[in-house]
Chain A
Amino acid sequence: MTIHLSIVLFLPLAAGLVGAALGARLVRWVVLAGTVLVLAYALVILVDFDAGSAGLQYVTDDEWISELGIRYELGVDGLNLFMIVLTAVAWVPCTLVACFREHERPRLFFFNVALAETAVLGAFMAQDLALFIVFFDLMLVPFYFLIGGWGQGDRVRATTKFVIYTLAGSLLMLAGAVALGVLSTPDGGQISFSLAELEQRSVSEGTQQWIVLLFALAFFVKAPLFPLHGWVPDTYRSTPIVVLALLSGVLSKVGVYGFLRIVLPVMPEGSQHWQELFIIVAVFSILYGSVLAFSQDNVRLVVAYSSIAQLGFIVLGIFALDDKGAQGAVFQMLNHGLVVVPLFLIIGVIALRANGSESVARLGGMAFRAPVLAALFLLVTFATLAMPGSANFVGELLVLFGAFEDKLVYGLVASVGVVLAGVYMIRVFQRTMHNREGPPVESRDVGGLDLAAIAPLVAVIVALGVYPHFVVERTEAATVQKIEQARAFGGEQEARAPGGQRTSLPPPGDEP
């Protein structure tokens, strides 16, 4: 029982409240200080983390709403360790960049930024299903205000669409979660939403199937994956770039993380039942996202659709239900976040030098006067397209290994996505950095502030490319355990089925 996670969790919110109380001039620095402290704390946890253990560490477990069986239960293991670190890492540069931009009503803006960090951290830390949903939904509130209040274009429409899409999924998940909690309660027992408890209890296979479907709906919308990505274009166009970096880099991971944390261990039969469907969705997302990324003119949308493809890879890795695939997925979750955040920050820098234009057709020729910017962009581009030597390469390779193991055909189709990623990312890089200078472009190199925000992220990307083992060794134990849990049922069934046939006669009248 420790208080460390609670401190990390509520530090940003506290900073936001204090900042908002202190006034419009100070609020940004207080919130920035909060994010830096969170990062420091998260790094301490990362160093202190016991890599060999698959169990939860730094557990906080308290009663919250006893009547409904909801507990305030937080914990860290290999699955969410790097998600927490990613959140802490991503918030610092984004807040930093935001600090030096002018915002109307800064108190509300920075309070929302801080609240968003608390909500995302909470979703990653929660070890109670209901608590997870609380934070999952709470995330929407700050983003609703951030997009609607400080976005561009048709922002109100965009933010409404975003919230309705996401909440439609997550409210259905809420219904599924309540059903899971109630139906798994043994006679006379106390209802519980604690994940550890739910893993012990069980519900019938038929129930699991539809509950898994509700959860998948929520997570696929959030990710976003192919048929449920309708909110993406509007939202990505309207969101302020700093917020978009967080939205795309960190928020999208909450959904896929939910599969590993909740769906696989708690509802193994249901997960196996839909495995094929989810893999097909993932493969479709890879192809669809890659093709659309190639045909977009807006740089943001290129990244948006490439994210759909990347998240398709992650879901493929998870539902290959294979140790390697899941490890690759967990690794890719981190990598994608680390790549997308600087990518959007760079797009913001580029837009500043092109009179606000983010159209591929109108950009170009920036590299000549901005070599540092071009170099940073190139490194990030290589990481995104999973160049050998980058961490993303390792991640995607693991995912594909996992897929080849069991689902060879899907794996082969998915690997086309790797090639396509190269095509669309290099296209963006060429069209913005090289070629003839576009009409609105006034190139100058990256400034000290933006460099301070982007360069450390790029350094982390490079470092992970050199030494991916740092992540893999810490995530391995927990990931393998979750996959084991998901496969345990199927293994038992397979083992049981032939044995049963041999020893006992089939019951008469059972066959039509």
Chain B
Amino acid sequence: MILPLADVPAPEIDYRELSPIMATVGGSIVVLMVGLLRSPFARRTLVPALTAVTLLAAIGLTIWIWEPGDREPIIVRALAMDTLTLGVSILFFVSGLVTIVLSLRSDAPREAGHGEYYSLLLGTITGMVVLAGAENLITLFVGLELLSIPLYVLCATELRRRTSLESGLKYLIIGSVGSATLLYGLALIYGAAGSTQFSGIETAIGERVGLSDPLLLTGIALAATGLAFKASVAPFHQWTPDVYQGAPTPITAFMAVATKAAAFAVFLRLFDSTLGLSQLQWAPALAALATATIVIGNVGAIAQRSLKRLLAWSGVAQAGYLLAGVVVASELGLRATAFYLAVYLLMNAAAFAVVVARERVSEHGDDLASLELLGRTQPWLAWPMTIAMLSLAGFPATAGFIGKFYLIDASVAGDYTWLGIVIVVGSVVSLVYYLRVVAVMWMGRYEVELPGLPRRRVKPVAGWSPEADARAQPEVAAVAIVFAAATIAFGLAPDPLFDAARDVGTALSNLR
């Protein structure tokens, strides 16, 4: 029997608010098609250019629909395009742009196909926007999968390098476990609250469902675990160093920043807003996770020689700092987390750009030794790296200091003073490895008591001359310099970022 079509009400769609997502989806299809063209110009130049245009257009549209306040979700209340979604979306788009620039000379797009590579990149960005805006458990899961699946593939795009394939496979397996856990948790939350709508869950809690309802609490725990996998929160972080090291470096940079931002957007929306009433139940557990993450991440980073692994571990530690902003479930915490995510993008983009630049020409690959005496030979790379490291460590006059200040401020104001002190202690430990990177660049050989790595054969980007190599990738150096300059600029005059963070803070109206 054929259903009478008239009985199915078509959802009303606000195309204006949906426009950034439409841009990335459309761009993704166009880029894939253009990638099929024969001419090398189309594949090597047009495809990245179109991807960049798509992202720039998406940024423009995001700014166009930017409106502070608690916005009504669109498409049958499934997707909230509020300032929280849009704020982190800008971070996704910008890190996408960084990835494009860093990928220009990489092997990955050449080996996997330019069209496919950039199309998948836009696909995962779409997934992130959907995930960040999800107002419904189903949308949340769709967004998560749309984010994850292209990313699994992107990790394995250096087809001829075993570690890249291994990284993709590892990420696939562990990511699936995370997704499954999350799905299970979402199902239990639905079972307890009887609604997939976030607003429905929010009203159900405390009215029909007790705060300590075992079904609900189990659901929350499993959902937190699933998200912790994505955000690389300890003890679900073990995949991070391996996957980060194996993936093509531009993709690592993208994962480090954008995936983390997406996962924290969900944390903020689902936990702080929807499950906000039961904060007393879940906050101590998340605070314990944050503490473990800070300790494990910082201690794990100390022994690393590979810069990508080091940044991976440092990313784990930073996830712990960010979690502090979630734990307190206040508007201040929301603002601080959003602020720190933006700062985190700046510092990491600069650092990864330097890693990309050195990795391509140095026989040490991404080993610490590849930075040796960079201060003398290539100060234009050494300064951005130094600034990024000092900012990650939280030195003043960098944006990292302000970000940490803000997070500690939020922790103390949310009655989690001890978590603020944990952040501080973690920062002290982190000095050991951040300063080591700086020392290698400026102070010459630094003996790290770890086994040396075998030298690898490199395919230098500009013949075999080190001088030519040094100047061969101006676009990568430009990324490093621009983002390092922004790190300093926002460290001295952070008001524009604060204004944006304040707007983001208005997105979830039911916070303290």
Interface, chain A (partner B; CB < 8 A)? 65-68, 105, 108, 130, 133-135, 137-138, 140-141, 144-145, 148-149, 155-156, 159-160, 163-164, 167-168, 171-172, 174-175, 178-179, 181-183, 191
Is B409 a contact of A178 with CB atoms below 8 Å? yes
Asked if B508 is at the interface of the complex by the 8 Å CB criterion, the answer is no
Q: Give A130 to B409 CA distance when docked, in angstroms.
A: 12
Is A65 a contact of B498 with CB atoms below 8 Å? yes
Q: What's the nearest-Cβ distance from chain A to residue B337, in Å? A: 14
| B397 neighbours in A (Cβ, 8 Å) | 134, 138
Given A133-B396, A144-B435, 4 other A-B residues pairs in contact with their CB atoms under 8 A: A135-B396, A171-B394, A178-B409, A178-B412
Closest residue of chain A to B435 (Cβ to Cβ) is A160
Q: Give A137 to B391 CA distance when docked, in angstroms.
A: 12
Write out, one digit per residue, whether chain B residues 383-420 have a CB within 8 A of any chain A CB (1) or not (0). 00000001000111100011001101100110001001
* A137 touching B395 in the complex, CB below 8 Å, given contacts A66-B495, A68-B402: yes
Is B408 a contact of A65 with CB atoms below 8 Å? no
| A167 neighbours in B (Cβ, 8 Å) | 427-428, 431
Write out, one digit per residue, whether chain B residues 365-380 have a CB within 8 A of any chain A CB (1) or not (0). 0000000000110000
Is B395 a contact of A178 with CB atoms below 8 Å? no
Q: Give A171 to B420 CA distance when docked, in angstroms.
A: 10
Q: What's the nearest-Cβ distance from chain A to residue B382, in Å? A: 11
Closest residue of chain B to A136 (Cβ to Cβ) is B396
Q: What's the nearest-Cβ distance from chain B to residue A235, in Å? A: 14
| A140 neighbours in B (Cβ, 8 Å) | 395
Is A148 a contact of B394 with CB atoms below 8 Å? no
Is A175 a contact of B443 with CB atoms below 8 Å? no
| B425 neighbours in A (Cβ, 8 Å) | 171-172
Interface centre among B420, B424, B494 (most CB of A within 10 A): B424
Across the interface, B424 reaches (CB within 8 A) one of A66, A105, A172, namely A172
Query: Chain A interface secondary structure, helix, strand, loop or mixed?
Result: helix
Is B409 a contact of A171 with CB atoms below 8 Å? no
Asked if B442 is at the interface of the complex by the 8 Å CB criterion, the answer is yes
Q: What's the nearest-Cβ distance from chain A to residue B381, in Å? A: 15
| A179 neighbours in B (Cβ, 8 Å) | 412, 417, 420
Interface centre among B394, B428, B446 (most CB of A within 10 A): B428
Closest residue of chain B to A134 (Cβ to Cβ) is B396
| A159 neighbours in B (Cβ, 8 Å) | 439, 443
Closest residue of chain B to A214 (Cβ to Cβ) is B421
| B44 neighbours in A (Cβ, 8 Å) | none
Asked if B57 is at the interface of the complex by the 8 Å CB criterion, the answer is no
Asked if B49 is at the interface of the complex by the 8 Å CB criterion, the answer is no
Q: Tell me the chain B residues, 460-512 only, with Cβ under 8 Å from chain A.
A: 494-495, 498, 501-502
Q: Give A133 to B402 CA distance when docked, in angstroms.
A: 12
Asked if B110 is at the interface of the complex by the 8 Å CB criterion, the answer is no
Is B439 a contact of A160 with CB atoms below 8 Å? yes
Is B395 a contact of A141 with CB atoms below 8 Å? yes
Is A178 a contact of B435 with CB atoms below 8 Å? no
Write out, one digit per residue, whether chain B residues 428-448 have a CB within 8 A of any chain A CB (1) or not (0). 100110011011001110100
Is A182 a contact of B395 with CB atoms below 8 Å? no
Q: Give A302 to B222 CA distance when docked, in angstroms.
A: 61
Q: Give A149 to B440 CA distance when docked, in angstroms.
A: 11
Closest residue of chain A to B445 (Cβ to Cβ) is A156
Q: What's the nearest-Cβ distance from chain B to residue A230, in Å? A: 14
Interface centre among B401, B405, B446, B498 (most CB of A within 10 A): B405
Q: What's the nearest-Cβ distance from chain A to residue B320, in Å? A: 15
| B421 neighbours in A (Cβ, 8 Å) | 172, 175
| B390 neighbours in A (Cβ, 8 Å) | 141
Q: Give A160 to B428 CA distance when docked, in angstroms.
A: 12
* A137 touching B396 in the complex, CB below 8 Å, given contacts A156-B443, A164-B432, A178-B409: yes
Across the interface, A156 reaches (CB within 8 A) one of B401, B402, B446, namely B446
* A156 touching B424 in the complex, CB below 8 Å, given contacts A133-B396, A164-B432: no
Some 16 contacts from A to B, beta carbons below 8 A apart, are A67-B501, A67-B502, A105-B376, A130-B405, A137-B395, A138-B396, A144-B438, A148-B442, A149-B442, A156-B443, A160-B439, A164-B431, A171-B394, A171-B427, A175-B424, A182-B412
Q: Give A135 to B406 CA distance when docked, in angstroms.
A: 18
* A182 touching B413 in the complex, CB below 8 Å, given contacts A137-B396, A171-B394: yes
Is A65 a contact of B413 with CB atoms below 8 Å? no
Q: What's the nearest-Cβ distance from chain A to residue B409, in Å? A: 5
Is B443 a contact of A138 with CB atoms below 8 Å? no
| B501 neighbours in A (Cβ, 8 Å) | 67
| A172 neighbours in B (Cβ, 8 Å) | 421, 424-425
Is B495 a contact of A168 with CB atoms below 8 Å? no
Q: Give A178 to B428 CA distance when docked, in angstroms.
A: 17
Closest residue of chain A to B498 (Cβ to Cβ) is A67
Q: Give A144 to B441 CA distance when docked, in angstroms.
A: 13
Q: Give A134 to B400 CA distance when docked, in angstroms.
A: 12
Q: Give A171 to B407 CA distance when docked, in angstroms.
A: 13
Q: Give A191 to B439 CA distance when docked, in angstroms.
A: 38
Q: Give A179 to B410 CA distance when docked, in angstroms.
A: 10
Q: What's the nearest-Cβ distance from chain A to residue B490, in Å? A: 11
| A181 neighbours in B (Cβ, 8 Å) | 409
